[in-house]
Structure 1
Amino acid sequence: MKTLRKSIQLWFDRLDERWRNLPMKTQHRYTLWFFTGYFILSVMVILNVFISSGRQGREIRIEHIENPIFKQPNPAGTIMDSSNLNQFK
């Protein structure tokens, strides 16, 4: 675990060194591109939420969560588990 942490730390240190060696203008340009992409992605998600929630006929059903094991049909009519020792006789 320590070697993994050390290798990850070395990798981050190398990335940080490469970032610091870039000219300031290039760093600024990369940062602007990153935030522009993030902004576009955020706007797309917000628009998608508004469009999907604005459709008519879409209702939200709120129901209780049911255990899927109890939904399966059991031919014997009882729930079989390993604590029932009568089934092995």
Structure 2
Amino acid sequence: MNTPPTVTAADDVREILLALADQLATGPHYRILTEADRLALILNEVTTRHGYGVPALNLDQEVRRHAPAVDWEISRGEYALIVRRAAGGAL
């Protein structure tokens, strides 16, 4: 009997980071991204995929750990590149 591959937390983190990068790269990629934008995008993506509850909160914290805080002026497109690179190291 074939068993489906197990989805790990690292897989979830990678998928969310890549989805964030895609969102940031589309639309007005030149617009400045703030820390509040970063947190809102992460929370929105996590809750869209996993709902609410302790597992989603834990995943939100893990994604935030991999997506660097925005404490400098950066465009959405530039940050998309950073997040995409972070997704490669999310294992």
Tell me the TM-score normalised to structure 1 length: 0.23
Of the two, which has the highest radius of gyration?
A: 1
Give TM-score scaled by structure 2 length.
0.23
The structure whose RCO (Cα within 8 Å, separation 6+) is larger is 2
* Higher strand residue share: 2
